[in-house]
Amino acid sequence: MSSAPLALTIPLAAVLLLPAVAAGVAARGGWAGTLRRPGRLGVRTVAAMSSDRAFALANKVAAPVAGGAAAIGAVAALIIIALPLAVPAVLVVFGLGLVGLFALLYAAAAMGERAARQVPPPARKPGIGSGGSPSCGGCGCGEGGCRAAAVEPFAAIARPGGVAIEPAGAEFGPAAI
């Protein structure tokens, strides 16, 4: 059995080790809670980026799977370098290692995203309006603003067979169904 040349095995191992090291650092930081949103590592989905709490939770949940991805990449790189494999076997180990690494990273991100969705979004602070008074910042309360919506939060809408209480501004009819 012939061994694959170092000119092939070393670059392939390096291609596996680069994302494996990044995944390992992200897994360690996510588990320890030291990753920050402005950084470059971690779960960076819409839900995870919505708050610091969601980001920390997403990365804590994703950390074990990201660590597994790092281990898969490192073991595949080690097999490529250490074992005297033929060129086809090196390519198979490289392909399996790369697919396994990125599949686990994708699964880690999906798990982190799902966990981050469970964190309620942070409350918005009212902005200052044109007259120096607090305003809702365009929340869509209607022409009367937040005060008018608070005074009259419900309106009666006639329905076939009775009257139902619906939030003000709710639409009824074929377009709303």
The verdict on 14 and 38 lying in the same domain is yes
| Residue 26 and residue 59 in contact, taking contact as beta carbons nearer than 8 Å | yes
pLDDT on residue 113: 95
In-domain check, residue 1:
no
The verdict on 110 and 162 lying in the same domain is no
pLDDT digits (tens, 9 = 90+) for 129-146: 555 555 555 555 555 555
In-domain check, residue 138:
yes
Report yes or no on whether pTM surpasses 0.95. Answer: no
Domain that holds residue 27: 6-116
pLDDT on residue 8: 93
| Total tally of structural domains belonging to the chain | 2
Please give the Cα distance from 133 to 49 (Å, whole number).
30
Residues paired with 155 in a beta bridge: 166
